[in-house]
Amino acid sequence: MKRNADNEITHPPPDALSKAGPPAEASAKAGPPPVDLSKAGLSAEALAKAGYKHTPLGWLPKEWEVVKLGKILLKSQYGLSVPSSPEGNVPIFKMNNFDNGKMSKDGVDFVVWEEELMEAFVLEKLDILFNRTNSYELVGKTGIFDLDGKYTFASYLVRFQVNGKFCSPLFVNYYLNWDRCQRKIKAIATKGVSQVNINPTSLKDWLKIPLPPLPEQQQIAAILSAWDRAIERTQALIAAKEERRRGVMQRLLTGKVRVKGFEGAWREVKVKEIFSLIEESNDGLEHTVMTISARFGLISQKEKFDRVIAGDSLKRYTLIRAGDFAYNKGNSKLYEMGCIYRLEDIESALVPFVYICFRPSGKIDSTFYKHWFLAHGLDRQLKKIITSGARGDGLLNVNKKDFFNLKVPLPPKEEQTIIGEILSKADYEVTLLQKKLEALQAQKKGLMQQLLTGKIRVK
């Protein structure tokens, strides 16, 4: 993003997508010389001279107003209290249909439409839906409706219709979704038995919103929308890459598609023939204390829990080295039979002694097996040897002897290596896109902080 000498946004980077920024779709605003209020040491007099005024929301540009939410609404309306039905013909938004400040049609339920009773509840484009009842984390979620077709909304949601003569619904929606505003909204939530509630009437009278001139609202919304489009495109690319990766994994790791130059059926061997059990305990030296997350793999306990949670059992933790594998017998939604991860990036680690840890022999390429284990390669066999459900500690009952008697494929080592390289490259492509997505999301967060407070002006 480029700024001129007055700290105004002139345009986003033209090659934005390649640099984790959106396309050049927004240009900026003229007006009083803007100032970056994040710079310390500016007196009230200096801010006033720079074109800012003190308001209940802090220092804002002098052209901006501060209004109560209720003053900019034409309508607020509770949704329908009707049951979903398999025979329903009109989609109904519920608490789980918010996605990044928009209403998503993914996973919507349907209701049987009764024209006379329900016509007043048909959503119009640019309506804003507000989640008035949910868990503390999710209450206050807000999304704008911009889909084609007839949709309605459930009773735990409230419809806000913004007066377009004075306000951009997109701008208002961005403000309501801004993390600072979300914290304010949650501050007035009242606790129920299992959920919390926000009274829309109180919200309309209590919540104050900064209101730039309408053209500036529209430009701010245009800039943030450009970042949203870049985020959505990147998310779509990640989904496509992951889908392709899953297909490639399924074909290569089962031998349905062979690497060029290799033929003949793969051998099948027991785990114990190519891996050995690790029984080395904590040696008292400096090692990272880790745990296995089903989603993220081996991660530091400090990173996950903000502290080492091992306690007195740390002396019994298993010591593993780079390239070793650890099987966490805890079941999860992602890995119902537990998950196996390889230690990478660091030389050694201590992991809970309840994990089954094993070391690859020199006869194999462990990268192939890293992908094979993560692709649920052992799940069917594990299901057969688990003696009962989860134990009191939440772990599955998997005997070490039974585990090492499970069978794994044994392609020629050269073929293992090629398959491992192909799949690692696919992983790397997804990782790059995920980093790009994180950068875009961080940029948008920073832009919201600057644009929604008038610290940086647009023209």
Contact 140, 133 (CB under 8 A): no
Counting residues of the chain whose pLDDT is more than 90, the rounded percentage is: 79
Q: Using the predicted structure, report yes or no on whether residue 24 has a pLDDT greater than 90.
A: no
Lowest mean pLDDT segment, chosen from 41-45, 100-104, 112-116, 184-188: 41-45
Within 10 Å of residue 29's Cβ, how many Cβ atoms? 18
Q: Which two tokens stand for residue 267?
A: 């051998």
For 447, which DSSP code? Answer: H
Report the chain's mean pLDDT, rounded to a whole number: 89
Q: Note the CATH architecture for domain 267-410.
A: Alpha-Beta Complex (3.90)
Q: Using the predicted structure, report yes or no on whether residue 258 has a pLDDT greater than 60.
A: yes
Contact 83, 155 (CB under 8 A): no
Say how far apart CA 284 and CA 233 lie, in whole Å: 49
Residue type, 450: Q
Delimit the CATH 3.90.220.20 region(s) of the chain: 67-211, 267-410
CA distances from 457 to 59, 261, 407 (A): 13, 62, 64
pTM: 0.81
Q: Once rounded to an integer, what is the mean pLDDT over residues 231-245? A: 96
Say how far apart CA 341 and CA 327 lie, in whole Å: 7
Lowest mean pLDDT segment, chosen from 7-16, 140-149, 294-303: 7-16
Domain 67-211 fold: Adenine-n6-DNA-methyltransferase TaqI; Chain A, domain 2 (3.90.220)
